[in-house]
């Protein structure tokens, strides 16, 4: 991390954005020329993340810094010239939070990819934002430690992107989400100052929790350039089981029974019939296509076989037609791989998808999934649902053909209907994907006028010129 002395912006910014030529010249004065990309064919590839239905602009340049000081130079330059900046990671996001705006500087942090420290005594890792989640997970595993957050895109997504969207993953039911593992941050503010938040210690309550404020802020308050992450001792390898159900309601009843029984699975995932068939079509996984819902449960404790047996009994009591424990770790991993490919498999069914991310109380999960099925019938669309069932976090995937104007309209309307249903059930519009462009109209509905006013006030405090990731969140 960078310990250089903070200096304020030392020149009065003009009232209008500078010409592109001036912007590029100033950027190259503090960043290697090869790190400033301007070829339209290249910059276009940085214009958007993986979200559908989200507008994206044309960036003036893409900058790939390698040091904190280079990031600071980009932010100072952008502030001086009144140029918007869109921070990016690997662009695996699903809400449009990384989409470019016209004339912006896209600030891609993927080259800042060093693991600076792994401390086995304090159980922390210090990393740059471009470190890929899976790379960090494997590196700490070699030291007998474990970094739990594991989004489905963990082989591609970066820690900086995970922090920006407060991402989750399959293990959230036991281990929680990214925010619970971020102890401290180094953040470059809009004017180029370097802010250090949080701590390296196991405990610490000094002042406002600015670290948590930046987690999930989608690059709208500052640019994360370093993070101190909490680690856990490596658990035993997971053992899993699969349970087939004749209805989603029965599967959700089993989920409630597992949680009410006080069991602590490391994974509790649900796939509806559409998702199971899509996974089979893509990966030839051999999952039971006759099932209406497939529940996957796993434990990573020394007593996993007994705990799985207890889950199996609860599933049978809830109406499961079959309960199949994995015979070994390899078979368990195969089941988990099937769940990880769910979104990709659903995306393969139609030319385009809109991926929802509605989280409801576990007790309302059946209503959420049955309601989504009713919406699919109402709008005559293919909608598959996979869910982090232990968290009540559903991912309805609306599949459609963007070349069909009427189907596209119905897809958009069904997406909104699903979010409205989630709020009606006491849920939230996003459990882990973030707001970005896709859901910013819905954020106002969830927060209410006072909540929205306070959030905008926070934004103005950190970014008074509104240059950081404009058009996102609200």
Q: Tell me: pLDDT of 2 over 80.
A: no
Q: Tell me: pLDDT of 1 over 50.
A: no
Ramachandran category for residue 169: left, alpha or beta (phi over 0 → left; psi -120 to 50 → alpha) = left
* Helix %, strand %, coil % of the chain (to 5): 40, 20, 40
Handedness of CA 416, 420, 421, 427 (dihedral sign): positive
Q: At 456, is the secondary structure helix, strand, or coil?
A: helix
What is the structure's pLDDT at 15?
A: 43
Give the integer Cα–Cα distance in Å for 255 and 187.
40
The model's pLDDT over 39-53, given as tens digits with 9 standing for 90+, comes to 999 999 999 999 977
Over residues 401-416, mean pLDDT = 96
Contact, 467 vs 459, CB < 8 A?
no
Give percent of the chain above pLDDT 70: 96
Q: Which of 10-14, 247-251, 304-308, 410-414 has the lowest mean pLDDT?
A: 10-14
Burial of 223 (0-12, 13-18, 19+ CB in 10 A): buried
Give percent of the chain above pLDDT 90: 88
The model's pLDDT over 15-34, given as tens digits with 9 standing for 90+, comes to 445 689 999 999 999 999 99
Over residues 111-117, mean pLDDT = 98
Element (H, E) at 61: strand 61-63
The model's pLDDT over 157-204, given as tens digits with 9 standing for 90+, comes to 999 999 999 999 889 999 999 999 999 999 999 999 999 999 999 999
Q: At 189, is the secondary structure helix, strand, or coil?
A: coil
The model's pLDDT over 305-332, given as tens digits with 9 standing for 90+, comes to 999 999 999 999 999 999 999 988 899 9
What is the structure's pLDDT at 18?
A: 65
The model's pLDDT over 432-451, given as tens digits with 9 standing for 90+, comes to 999 999 999 999 999 999 99
Q: Which residue has the higher pLDDT, 355 or 77?
A: 77
Strand partners, 195: 187
Which domains are assigned to the chain? 20-111 (3.30.43.10), 115-233 (3.30.465.10), 239-424 (3.40.462.10)
Contact, 223 vs 163, CB < 8 A?
no
Mean pLDDT of the chain: 94
Give the integer Cα–Cα distance in Å for 267 and 170.
6
Strands 393-400 and 182-188: unpaired
Model-wide pTM > 0.85: yes
Strands 223-230 and 182-188: antiparallel
Contact, 174 vs 264, CB < 8 A?
yes
Burial of 15 (0-12, 13-18, 19+ CB in 10 A): exposed
How many helices, marked H, and strands, marked E, lie in the chain?
Answer: 15, 19
The DSSP annotation for 347-389 comes to HTTSSEEEE--EE--GGGHHHHHHHHHHHHHHTT-EEEEEEEG
């Amino acid at each position: 991390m960078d310990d250089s002395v903070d200096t304020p912006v030392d020149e009065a910014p003009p009232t209008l954005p500078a010409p592109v030529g001036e912007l590029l010249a100033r950027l190259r004065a503090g960043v290697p020329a090869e790190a400033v990309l301007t070829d339209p064919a290249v910059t276009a590839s940085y214009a958007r993340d993986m979200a559908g239905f989200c507008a994206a602009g044309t960036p003036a340049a893409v900058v790939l810094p390698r040091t904190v000081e280079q990031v600071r130079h980009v932010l100072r330059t952008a502030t001086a010239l009144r140029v918007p900046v869109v921070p990016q990671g690997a662009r695996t996001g699903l809400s449009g939070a990384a989409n470019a705006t016209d004339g912006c500087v896209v600030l891609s942090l993927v080259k800042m990819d060093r693991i600076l420290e792994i401390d086995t005594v304090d159980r922390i890792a210090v990393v740059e934002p471009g470190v890929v989640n899976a790379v960090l997970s494997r590196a700490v595993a070699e030291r007998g430690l474990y970094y739990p957050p594991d989004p489905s895109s963990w082989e591609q997504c970066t820690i900086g992107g995970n922090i920006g969207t407060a991402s989750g993953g399959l293990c959230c039911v036991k281990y929680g989400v990214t925010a619970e593992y971020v102890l401290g941050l180094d953040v470059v503010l809009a004017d180029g100052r370097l802010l250090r938040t949080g701590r390296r210690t196991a405990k610490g309550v000094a002042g406002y929790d600015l670290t948590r404020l930046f987690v999930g802020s989608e690059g709208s308050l500052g640019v994360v350039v370093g993070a101190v992450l909490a680690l856990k001792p490596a658990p035993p390898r997971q053992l899993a089981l699969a349970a087939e159900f004749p209805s989603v309601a029965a599967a959700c009843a089993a989920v409630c029974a597992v949680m009410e029984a006080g069991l602590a699975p490391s994974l509790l995932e649900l796939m509806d019939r559409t998702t199971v068939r899509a996974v089979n079509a893509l990966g030839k996984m051999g999952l039971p296509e006759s099932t209406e819902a497939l529940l996957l449960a796993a434990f990573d404790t020394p007593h996993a076989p007994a705990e799985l047996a207890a889950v199996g009994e609860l599933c049978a009591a809830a109406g499961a037609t079959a309960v199949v424990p994995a015979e070994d770790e390899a078979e368990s991993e195969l089941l988990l791989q099937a769940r990880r490919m769910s979104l990709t498999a659903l995306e393969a069914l139609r030319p385009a998808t809109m991926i929802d991310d509605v989280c409801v109380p576990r007790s309302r999960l059946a209503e959420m999934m049955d309601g989504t099925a009713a919406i699919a019938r109402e709008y005559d669309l293919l909608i598959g649902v996979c869910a982090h069932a232990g968290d009540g976090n559903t991912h309805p995937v609306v599949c459609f053909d963007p070349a069909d104007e009427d189907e596209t309209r119905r897809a958009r309307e069904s997406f909104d209907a699903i979010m409205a249903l989630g709020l009606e059930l006491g849920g939230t519009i996003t459990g882990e994907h973030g707001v970005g462009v896709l859901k910013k109209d819905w954020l106002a509905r969830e927060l209410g006028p006072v909540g929205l006013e306070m959030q905008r006030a926070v934004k103005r405090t950190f970014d008074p010129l509104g240059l950081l990731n404009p058009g996102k969140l609200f």
